[in-house]
């Protein structure tokens, strides 16, 4: 059975799983679903058509599911879906989708959102993502699995951050960031591969060496980007991580991607 503090307000229609704990002075809206074992600590507001998976930990003053911060929003039905085992720290804000973005904001499993970070409308966030303090994700942002965004960084509307990428603190991401890439700078530039993340996640030495060679071919050789991508695909026909990077670049069409400041940028 859920445990609800006497000062909390849980509106009729809210669905609470087994073992859910609602702390003091929380407000849970009528369309909210909280998965089994979740804990909403205190002074948390969860509104809208919001579904949160099992074993969530939500800390004070988080605001989850209120209407999107989009001036084009006219009250259309939309939703926010959050996976299992997510940590949502103090002051985090998360908005549902809009009609212009498909109507859904989706967050995967085992993600951590540290204090005062923001997830804008229509964002699509993968699994095992870490969003550090004061990170701002604008609307329609896509974040791949295992990405890490450092404190105070910001991602512009419609930008993509690939899986296993790392964004340095106080970095403004204006262009797409390739999978496994490391971006930093006042306006983000590509500073190599996320080697620390690759080693922590037990990618083999051979895989990392292949990726470093591919990185040099893509960003440090002659010709157009399309020509370099094609040549890299031929050089590494059976290397899946390299092809994830190449597929990411192709999928962006004519969109700009984060690139090194210098062709010999450390990888």
Rg (CA), the chain: 20
**Catalytic-role residue among 29, 139, 150, 181:** 139
48 is catalytic: no
Contact 250, 164 (CB under 8 A): no
Question: Residue 196 phi/psi, 5° resolution?
Answer: -60, -45
Measured distance CA(29)–CA(10) in Å, rounded: 6
Q: In whole angstroms, how far apart are CA 171 and each of 50, 101, 251?
A: 30, 25, 24
Measured distance CA(34)–CA(3) in Å, rounded: 12
Contact 79, 61 (CB under 8 A): no
5 is catalytic: no
Measured distance CA(73)–CA(48) in Å, rounded: 14
Q: Of 211, 215, 208, give the one whose Cα is nearest residue 191.
A: 215
The residue behind tokens 């440090």 is 220
121 is catalytic: yes
The residue behind tokens 């031929």 is 234
- Cross-strand pairs, 88: 58, 113
**Catalytic-role residue among 53, 84, 91, 122:** 122
- Cross-strand pairs, 50: 80
**Catalytic-role residue among 83, 118, 121, 192:** 121
Active site positions, annotated: 121-122, 139
């Amino acid at each position: 059975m859920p445990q609800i503090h006497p000062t909390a307000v849980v509106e009729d229609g809210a669905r609470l799983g087994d073992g859910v704990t609602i702390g003091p002075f929380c407000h849970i809206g009528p369309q909210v679903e909280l998965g089994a074992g979740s804990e909403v600590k205190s002074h948390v507001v969860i509104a809208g058509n919001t579904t949160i998976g099992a074993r969530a930990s939500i800390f004070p003053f988080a605001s989850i599911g209120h209407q999107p911060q989009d001036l084009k929003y006219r009250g259309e039905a939309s939703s926010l879906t959050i996976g299992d085992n997510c940590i949502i720290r103090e002051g985090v804000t998360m908005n549902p989708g809009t009609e212009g973005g498909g109507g859904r904001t989706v967050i995967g499993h085992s993600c951590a959102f540290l204090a005062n970070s923001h997830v804008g409308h229509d964002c699509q966030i993968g699994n095992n993502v870490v969003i550090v303090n004061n990170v701002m994700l604008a609307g329609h942002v896509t974040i791949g699995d295992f990405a890490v965004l450092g404190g105070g960084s910001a991602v512009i509307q419609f930008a993509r951050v690939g899986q296993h990428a790392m964004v340095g603190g106080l970095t403004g991401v204006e262009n797409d960031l390739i999978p496994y890439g490391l971006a930093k700078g006042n306006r983000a530039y590509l500073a190599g591969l996320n080697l620390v993340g690759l080693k922590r996640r037990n990618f083999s030495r051979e895989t990392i060496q292949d990726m470093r060679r591919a990185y040099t071919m893509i960003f440090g050789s002659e010709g157009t980007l399309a020509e370099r991508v094609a040549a890299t695909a031929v050089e590494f026909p059976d290397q899946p991580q390299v092809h994830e990077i190449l597929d990411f670049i192709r999928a962006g069409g004519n969109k700009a991607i984060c690139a090194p400041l210098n062709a010999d940028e450390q990888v």
